[in-house]
Structure 1
């Protein structure tokens, strides 16, 4: 039998960790099973991009009192550069792991603003017999949607978040906290109270 409670308190949801976990679970399944690998790769790359975006907002709240006003005016790339510089991390956006973030953001944007495209190619292609049966002509995002790219993007996302988290003096373990709450509860009929 359910009881009715009145609950008051506060909670914290660390969104980047939920996004990172979604990326990890998709990648594990994609690495384990070839069936559906395209979709698991897609989810891994998109959720890695989401994890980075959410982490930038996590850093923004740490570094700036007015982050909610600032962040809307900055592109993902500008946020990335801002936090790399704020954390005093030397970077080259054309090299890994930094280039993986740029690729993940481009991939995410292509899907978020997706459109039907006519694509034309004319080039020599080497294919196995199996690949020949399933060959399709794709666009940029479909061509990037491979398990090896998903593994690289995920690994580099983990590396980047870890480096920036530590450099920002937020601790040594960026992937531990998902959610926390402090609250009081009482039966609505008034007989019991509990602090969790």
Structure 2
């Protein structure tokens, strides 16, 4: 007779929370000025955008069944739909957190559908020819700065927490999923193959 452990468990995987933790982690690394911090800023912005999109699905599909997984709705369209459902004021994408959110998703789209551009500059330069301040940058490169990343994470987290509270799910949305387990011990009758073999040879 042997003891066998049977474990039954469940754990809610909050993808949006894990993505936002990643965005925070990348921002912290960039703030510390580590080598490659510029790419940490890019990663933080993209993870933040992905987190918001995942949260829209967390509420819209899991909790309210407002659309199906295969439905092709824009992320900001889902946001507007959820605000209506939760009786939150319609988003004003011309100011505040919503304006930053809109800029973030413009950045996300530029990175997801990246193109190669030739940038040109034609204006008088009064400084020395080797002055690096005149290096041309694309729109997404100008967006990738430490202050901008901080603003994006602060605004997106505020929007998500506000929606989470309105949905009755608590003031803080980014807690990790908790695993719930049930462990049972059972006595399993297992014959000893070696003993059986020994008796056959005698």
TM-score range, shorter chain: 0.7 to 0.9
Tell me how far apart the structure 2 counterparts of residues 35 and 132 of structure 1 sit (CA, whole Å): 23
| Range with bigger deviation, 76-85 or 46-55 | 76-85
Residues 84-141 of structure 1: CA deviation (Å, up to 9, x unaligned): 22222223111120011111111111111112222223356898x9x93375322111
Residues 176-195 of structure 1: CA deviation (Å, up to 9, x unaligned): 2x2333345679x958xxxx
RMSD over aligned Cα atoms = 3.0
The residue that corresponds to 1:47 in the other structure is 47
Q: Which of 157, 177, 180 is the matching residue for 1:179?
A: 177
TM-score scaled by structure 1?
0.79
Q: Are 1:157 and 2:156 an aligned pair?
A: yes
8 Å Cα contact 1:37/1:147 also seen in 2: no
TM-score scaled by structure 2?
0.77
8 Å Cα contact 2:56/2:79 also seen in 1: yes
Residues 134-179 of structure 1: CA deviation (Å, up to 9, x unaligned): 7532211111111111011011011111111101111122122x23
Greater radius of gyration (CA): 2
8 Å Cα contact 2:162/2:171 also seen in 1: no
Question: Structure 2 unaligned runs (5+)?
Answer: 190-202
Question: Structure 1 unaligned runs (5+)?
Answer: 192-196
Give the CA deviation at 1:17: 0.6
The residue that corresponds to 1:194 in the other structure is none
What is the SS of the residue equivalent to 2:178?
A: strand
Aligned residues: 183
Tell me how far apart the structure 1 counterparts of residues 24 and 148 of structure 2 sit (CA, whole Å): 14
